[in-house]
């Protein structure tokens, strides 16, 4: 978080090294205007990690970069404007108030799961999961490209 803990990456790496843990640095999602001032571009952090890393890998899920440092493993989770993050997402989340959330970045497609559970309606609960799954779509989409075909008017000889 900008202005809060951006200087704590090194102590976190040391802690994870001592405990044998993997450190995940997760980019803040400034989905509310009041969070925007705390968003921190993680590119400089990634550049520092890359210089120190023995090896850099990409995880298939969400296209996360994983830095294998001499002391521990550091994974950087960047979801903002990351089409690969959205494209490979297989998660449904459950909100504290009982709604299924098909997309981490959206709040306009929540599906009520609590009501069918309270009613003991197993079929309606299954239907809620099915509906939430159907509503999944990437929030950040790759730019659309169109492939233009030009006809020269000349076909194969004799054709």
What's the pTM?
Answer: 0.59
Closest CA to 133 of 116, 107, 111, 115: 111
Residue 144 pLDDT exceeds 60: no
Of residues 107 and 159, more confidently modeled: 107
> For residue range 43-93, what is the model confidence (pLDDT) as tens digits?
889 999 999 999 999 877 667 789 999 999 999 887 666 666 677 778 888
> For residue range 108-138, what is the model confidence (pLDDT) as tens digits?
999 999 999 999 999 999 999 999 999 988 7
Residue 157 pLDDT exceeds 60: no
C-beta separation of 104 from 88 below 8 A: no
Residue 41 pLDDT exceeds 50: yes
C-beta separation of 128 from 116 below 8 A: yes
């Amino acid at each position: 978080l900008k202005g809060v803990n951006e200087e704590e990456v090194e102590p976190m790496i040391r802690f994870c090294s001592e405990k044998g843990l993997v450190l995940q640095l997760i980019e803040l999602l400034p989905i509310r205007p009041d969070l925007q001032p705390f968003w921190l571009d993680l590119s400089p952090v990634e550049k520092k990690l890359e210089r120190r890393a023995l090896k850099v890998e990409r995880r298939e899920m969400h296209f996360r970069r994983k830095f294998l440092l001499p002391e521990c493993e550091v994974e950087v989770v960047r979801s903002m404007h990351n089409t690969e993050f959205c494209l490979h997402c297989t998660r449904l989340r459950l909100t504290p108030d009982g709604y299924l959330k098909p997309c981490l970045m959206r709040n306009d497609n929540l599906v009520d799961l609590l009501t069918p559970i309270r009613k003991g309606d197993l079929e309606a609960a299954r239907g809620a999961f099915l509906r939430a799954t159907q509503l999944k779509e990437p929030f950040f989409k790759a730019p659309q490209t169109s492939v233009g075909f030009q006809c020269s008017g000349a076909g194969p000889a004799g054709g």
